[in-house]
Amino acid sequence: MSGAPEPTPEHDDSTDAEVVLSVRDLEVSFGTKRGRAEVVRGLDYDLHRGETLAIVGESGSGKSVSTLALTKLIPIPPGRGTGTAHLGDTDLISLSEAELVHVRGQRIGFVFQDPMTSLNPVHTIGRQLTEGMRHHLGLSEAAARDRAVELLAKVGIPSPEDRLGDYPHQFSGGMRQRVVIAIGLSCDPEVLIADEATTALDVTTQAQIIDLIAELQADLGMAVVWITHDLGVVAGIADRVLVMYAGEVVEQADAPELLSRPRHPYTVGLLASLPVLGDTERGDLAAIPGLPPPPTSLPPGCGFYPRCSFRSDERCATERPPLREVVAGHLVRSFYEVPEEQSRRASAATRIAIEPPDVRDEGVA
C-alpha cells in the first residue's frame, strides 16, 4: 500500500499540526502452542507533530507490541503485523527489513523501560551514543562526538565531555535513562517512542525524566508516543490518551477530557485504582478484580466483560462493542457509558493523586 493517509474523520478539529504517524487497522498476532494469539486487534490513531500520545494499558494489553510492530522489533517469526502505518509518506508495514533499518533510530527513536539493562555494559556511553549517528547520518567520529556532547548536555548530564568515556555502570539509573533518551534523540527522529520509560525509576527521577522529555519535545518539536500502565504519568504529559485493553482501544480522548470524564468502565477502574498520596481513608484501593483474557481465547463479546462491574447491556456478553464517538474527539468502545457520578468520583481522586504540571508549578511558586 502507498499514498498519503486519509484524514481522520473523528479527529480533524483538534489540531492543525501535520500528521506524522497515521496508523490504520493495525493487527498483530502470533502463532503459539495454544493457537493464534491476537495481541493487537485493529488499532487506528494519528499522531501529530509536537503531540504526545499516551497509550495506556495493563501488561498484555498490546500497548507495547502495537508500537514495536511498527518497525518489526518483535522478531518472533510467526508474529505478523497487518494494516498500514504511514510515517510521512512511507507505509512502515510494507517495508523490508533492510528498509526498516533506516527508519529505526533515524526516523523513530526508542526509549525502553529499564535503563540498567538497555545500555551495553562493555561499551562506553560515548560509543553507544555515536554509533547510531555515524551509521544513519554518516557523521565523522569527531562530528559525532561533538554532537554527543551536545546531546548529553541537552538531556542534563553534567560535564558531558568528561563522561563520554565512561561505562554505563558508572551512571545512576536516572542518568542512564537520560543517556538512553539522548540515544533516542540522536538522529532527530520524527517520533520518539517511550516504552514504560519511567517505570523502573524512583518517583523523583520519574518526574525529572517526564519533565525532560516534555522540555525536549517543546524544543525539538517531535511527536512522542508514551506507553505506560500508569495513568498518573499520563496526566503529566499526554495531549491525547488511548486506553487499550485486550488488544483493542477501549477509550480515546484528549487527556483532560479523558481524565475528568472517563466513560469506559475499564478507564474508570484504572483511575479509581490510582493510589492517592496522603489519603488514608480511601482504603478500598479499588484494583480491578480478575485478569485480562489470554490473547489466545478472547471472549466473543466485550473483552472487558468478565471483569466489568458496570455491565448493563445484554449485548456485552455476545457482541463486540463498536468504538463510538460520544462527544467530539472522545471515543468509547462500549454499548453504554459509565454514569457521570461514578465517573466524576474516580477522576476526582485522580486530580488529587497526580497534580497536573501547571498545579505543580503554582504550588512551588
Partner 1 sequence: MGRYVLRRTAQAAVALLGVSIVVFALIHLVPGDPVRPALGTRFDQELYETLIARAGLDQPLLLQYWNWLTSALTGDLGVSFRTGQPVTGALLQRLPATMLLAFAALLVGLLIALPAGIVSAVRQGRPVDYAASSFSQIGVSVPDFWFGLLLILVFARSLGWLPPSGYVSPLEDPVEAIRRLILPATTAGVVTGAILTRFVRSSVLEAMGAEHVRLARAKGMPERYILRHHVLRNAWIPVVTITGLQLATLLGGIVVVEVVFAWPGIGRLALDAVVRRDYPVLQGAVLLIATGFLLINLLVDLLYARLDPRITTS
Partner 2 sequence: MTEPTHDPAEELQAPDEPSEPRWRETLSALLKNRLAAAGMIVLALLILSAVFADLVAPYAYTDGDIVRRLEPPGRDHWFGTDELGRDVLSRVIFGARVSLQVGAVAVGISLMVGTLIGLISGYRGGWIDAVLMRTMDVLFSFPVVLLAIAIVAVLTPSLRNTMIAIGVVFTPIFARGVRGSVLSVREEVYVRASRSLGASDWRIISRHVLPNVAAPVIVQTSLSLAFAILTEAALSYLGIGVQPPRPAWGLMLLDAQGFIPTGAWWMSLFPGLAIFLTVMALNLVGDGLRDALDPKQRSIIQSRGVT
When CB distances are held under 5 to 8 angstroms depending on the partner's kind, the choice from partner 2, partner 1, none that residue 59 binds is: partner 2
Distances from the Cα of 182 to the Cαs of 143, 160, 254, 322, 365, in angstroms? 16, 12, 28, 40, 30
Q: Does 131 bind partner 1 (CB under 8 A)?
A: yes
Is residue 297 within the footprint of partner 1 (CB under 8 A)? no
Partner whose footprint covers residue 104, from partner 1, partner 2, none (CB < 5 to 8 Å by kind): partner 1
Is residue 190 within 8 A of residue 107, CB to CB? The reply is yes
Number of residues in contact with partner 1 under rule CB under 8 A: 29
DSSP state of 21: E
CB of 70 to partner 2, least distance (A): 15
The smaller minimum CB distance to partner 2, of residues 190 and 196, is found at 196
DSSP-derived secondary structure letter, 324:
E
Among the listed ranges 52-60, 81-89, 132-140, 207-215, the one in contact with partner 1 (CB under 8 A) is 132-140
38 bridge partner residues? 29
Positions that interact with partner 2 (CB under 8 A): 58-61, 63-65, 112-114, 195-196, 199, 229, 287, 291
**Which residue of 49, 80, 135, 307 would you call a contact of partner 1, by CB under 8 A?**
135
Q: Is 106 in the site for partner 1 (CB under 8 A)?
A: yes
Residues 6+ apart with CB under 8 A from 213: 181, 192, 194, 197, 224, 226, 237
3-state secondary structure of 82: strand
In the complex with partner 1, the residue whose CB is nearer, 112 or 245, is: 112
Residue type at 147? R
Parallel, antiparallel or unpaired: strands 223-228 and 191-195: parallel
> Is 160 near partner 1 (CB under 8 A)?
no
| Amino acid, single-letter form, for residue 41 | R
The interface with partner 1 within residues 66-105 (CB under 8 A) comprises 71, 73, 100-105
Cβ-Cβ contacts under 8 Å for 186 (sequence gap 6 or more)? 105, 109, 129, 130, 132, 133, 147, 148, 151
| 134: its cell numbers | 555515524
Question: Residue 4 gets which letter from DSSP?
Answer: P
Nearer to partner 2, 61 or 128 (CB): 61
| Chosen from partner 1, partner 2, none, partner binding at 63 (C-beta under 5 to 8 Å by type) | partner 2
Question: CB under 5 to 8 A by kind: which of partner 1, partner 2, none does 121 bind?
Answer: partner 1
* C-beta separation of 259 from 343 below 8 A: no
Which residues form the interface with partner 1 (CB under 8 A)?
71, 73, 100-106, 110, 112, 114, 117-123, 131-132, 135-136, 167, 169-170, 180, 183, 187
